[in-house]
Amino acid sequence: DADVTQTPRNRITKTGKRIMLECSQTKGHDRMYWYRQDPGLGLRLIYYSFDVKDINKGEISDGYSVSRQAQAKFSLSLESAIPNQTALYFCATSDNTGPYEQYFGPGTRLTVT
C-alpha cells in the first residue's frame, strides 16, 4: 500500500461549492504539507503542519483552509471553490529530523467549472 494516499484522485465541482481533499499517511511522519501545481509550473505551498497543534500558512493560503485531525491525517478545504483553483493538488510528508526529504501522495486533480 502507498505510504501517502490522497482522496479523491479526481474531482469536478462547480463554482461556489465547498470541497475537501484528504490526505493520509502511514510513514509516521509529524510534518505534512499541501501544495498546488498549475500546468507547466512548479509547486506552491498552501499550508503546512509540523504536528497536530501546529498549522502554518504557505505562500498561497487565501481561499483555502486545513485541518490536522491526527498525526496521520491532513485535510485541505476550499470553502467556496472558484475556477482559478483548478489545479493538481499534492500532499507530502517529512519526518521531524533533517534533512526533511519529502514523500508525496499521488495527487488530486481538481476542476472547478
Site residues (vs another protein, CB under 8 A): 4, 33, 35, 40-43, 45, 48, 50, 56, 58, 88, 90, 92, 98-107, 109
Residue nearer to another protein on the CB measure, 44 or 80: 44
Tell me phi and psi for residue 75, to 5 degrees.
Answer: -110, 145
The residue type at 16: G
Q: Among residues 19 and 87, whose Cβ is nearest to another protein?
A: 87
CB of 3 to another protein, least distance (A): 11
Shortest separation between residue 107's beta carbon and another protein, angstroms? 6
Instruction: Give the separation between CA 76 and CA 53, rounded to whole angstroms.
Output: 16
CB 86 within 8 A of CB 72: no
CA distances from 79 to 2, 3, 13, 42, 48 (A): 28, 28, 12, 24, 18
As measured in angstroms, the least distance from the Cβ of 106 to another protein is 5
Shortest distance in whole angstroms from residue 45 CB to another protein? 6
**Among residues 4 and 78, whose Cβ is nearest to another protein?**
4
For residue 83, give the DSSP letter. G
